[in-house]
Amino acid sequence: MKVLAVDPAIRNTGYAIIEGDQHKQFAIDYGVIRIPQKLPQSKALAAVRTGLKNLIQQYEPEVVAVEGIIYVQSMRTAISMGAARAATLIAAADAGLEIYEYAPKKIKQAVVGNGNAGKDQVAFMVRALLGLNETPAHDAADALAIALAHLAAQDPLKASILQMKNI
């Protein structure tokens, strides 16, 4: 299975393309779609959508896995993250792809074994699990972790732990 995983944000959207199953996975591509601060929010959202659309066209994933809504203390941050998530969902829906979402704690639990793991721990484990030569940037590492969590969810023994949602 080929998965496009996305850690949505308006300025730094992490993405990962991983192929494999619950037993063996390899990273095809990963990185961060970086949007300049000077770009207005509406254009930044369009750029996120276009960047993801281009990845979908290039790699032809079978599904998209996205980090679910997280709780933040700032209303402004919550609105911004929700808008980036919407841009992600629209890009995937436009391509006719199935979309799955995973709670941040469940992703960390699947990859690190601890739902409260820090970003450095997630990046370290992603690097180790995928045999990467470098530690990915945090946003890319988060996307890689989302993809790994999705593939783990395909294992009937782990699926109930992750409680994936098809949206």
Of 21, 60, 62, 67, the active-site residue reads 67
How does DSSP classify residue 23? S
Provide the token pair at 19. 């192929």
DSSP letter string over 45-56?
A: HHHHHHHHHHHH
Two tokens at 89? 């969902």
7 is catalytic: yes
From the candidates 21, 139, 142, 155, which is the catalytic residue? 139
Cα–chain center distance at 146: 5
Catalytic residue among 7, 19, 62, 134: 7
- Are the C-beta atoms of residues 132 and 141 closer than 8 Å to each other? no
Who's near 137: CB < 8 A, 6+ residues apart? 14, 31, 32
Catalytic positions are: 7, 67, 139
